[in-house]
């Protein structure tokens, strides 16, 4: 099993450009999450999907949209990137009723 | 929302030393996880421990849910233990599965 995979690993954008971060898991987990990590801080939840077909806002959703394409895939879209969105983005998944979240390797995004 | 505080913020050790990292949280929790973020940025699950004590090799963790704290013990530290250690919790009143992270403890182990 690959676990949780994310693409791309690194991306540079100019202000105003759009892009989609991809996440996939092969553990047949129901719930998936997108977090961002800023320097010197822990992770903050952007959006989550409790199950296929549902999505909900987390702590810091502004400027982002998500799509739960199927049970395996959960994408994060930046419609108009801003320098404040420079961060490392982590995708995670969790099987219910289990509680442990498993994290992908992260995507480093730089917005100039 | 729930608050999570980790201490110390930074810790420097010589190889072979033992250490204790602490995580305090402001509300009752039904999920607590410890993670190690290695120097390459990867987040590694260490423990799922909403209560009780667990051990895995040189690492062990104890959560005293009634007193709202958790401890991570690292014995005989190695240079590969370096990185950031995060505590993350979920309280019963938060959004489905949402984890709230502490600020982390930066551990540096010198040879």
Average pLDDT of B8-13?
Answer: 96
DSSP reduced 3-state for A103: strand
What does the pLDDT read at residue B1? 82
State the pLDDT at residue A99: 72
pLDDT of residue A51: 87
> In which residue are the tokens 């930074």 written?
B10
Tens of pLDDT, residue by residue over B61-96, are 999 999 999 999 999 999 999 999 999 998 765 556
Task: Name the more confident of A53 and A41.
Answer: A53
A31 interaction partners in chain B (CB closer than 8 Å):
96-97
Best CA proximity match to A30, nearest among A101, A93, A86: A93
Q: What is the 3-state secondary structure (H, E, C) of B5-72?
A: EEECCEEEEECCCCEEEEEEECCCEEEEEEEEECCCCCEEEEEECCCEEEEECCEEEEEEHHHCEEEE
Longest dimension (CA), chain B: 44
Which B-chain residues 16-75 have CB contacts (< 8 A) with chain A? 30-31, 33, 35, 41-43, 45, 48, 50
Mean pLDDT taken over chain B: 92
Does A50 touch chain B if contact means CB atoms closer than 8 Å? yes
Quick one: pLDDT at residue B48? 92
How much is the pLDDT for A14?
97
Q: Do A101 and B4 touch (CB under 8 A)?
A: no
pLDDT in the model for residue B71: 98
Q: Tens of pLDDT along A55-99?
A: 999 989 999 999 998 999 999 999 999 999 999 999 999 876 657
Residue A1 has pLDDT above 90, yes or no: no
Give the integer Cα–Cα distance in Å for B28 and B38. Answer: 29
- Are A94 and B104 inside 8 Å of each other by CB? no
Question: Can you give the pLDDT at residue A41?
Answer: 78
- The more confidently predicted of residues B60 and A97 is B60
Cβ contacts (< 8 Å) between B102 and chain A: which residues? Answer: 42
Residue B97 reports pLDDT greater than 80: no
- B86 CB contacts (<8 Å, ≥6 apart)? A42, A43, B6, B34, B35, B36, B37, B43, B101, B102, B104
Query: What pLDDT was estimated at residue B111?
Result: 95
Percent of chain A scoring above 70 in pLDDT: 96
Decide if B43 and A33 are in contact by the 8 Å CB cutoff: no
Q: Do B103 and A99 touch (CB under 8 A)?
A: no
Instruction: Express each pLDDT in A4-47 by its tens digit.
Output: 999 999 999 999 999 999 999 999 998 999 999 998 778 999 99
Share of chain B above pLDDT 70, in %: 95
């Amino acid at each position: 099993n690959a676990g949780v995979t994310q693409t791309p690993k690194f991306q540079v954008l100019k202000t105003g450009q759009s892009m989609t971060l991809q996440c996939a898991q092969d553990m047949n987990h129901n719930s998936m999450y997108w977090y961002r990590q800023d320097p010197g801080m822990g992770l903050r939840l952007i959006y989550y999907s409790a199950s296929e077909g549902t999505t909900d806002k987390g702590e810091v959703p502004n400027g982002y949209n998500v799509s739960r394409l199927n049970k395996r895939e959960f994408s994060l879209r930046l419609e108009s990137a801003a320098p404040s969105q420079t961060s490392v983005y982590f995708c995670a998944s969790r099987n219910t009723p289990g509680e442990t979240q498993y994290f992908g390797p992260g995507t480093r995004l730089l917005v100039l | 929302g729930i608050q999570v505080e980790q201490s110390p913020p930074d810790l420097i050790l010589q190889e072979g030393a033992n250490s204790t990292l602490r995580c305090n949280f402001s509300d009752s929790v039904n999920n607590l996880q410890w993670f190690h973020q290695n120097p390459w940025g990867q987040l590694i699950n260490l423990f799922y421990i909403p209560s009780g004590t667990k051990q895995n090799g040189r690492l062990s963790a104890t959560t005293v849910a009634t007193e709202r704290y958790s401890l991570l013990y690292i014995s005989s530290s190695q240079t590969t233990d370096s990185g950031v250690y995060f505590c993350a919790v979920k309280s019963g009143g938060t959004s489905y599965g949402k984890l709230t992270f502490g600020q982390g403890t930066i551990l540096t182990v010198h040879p």
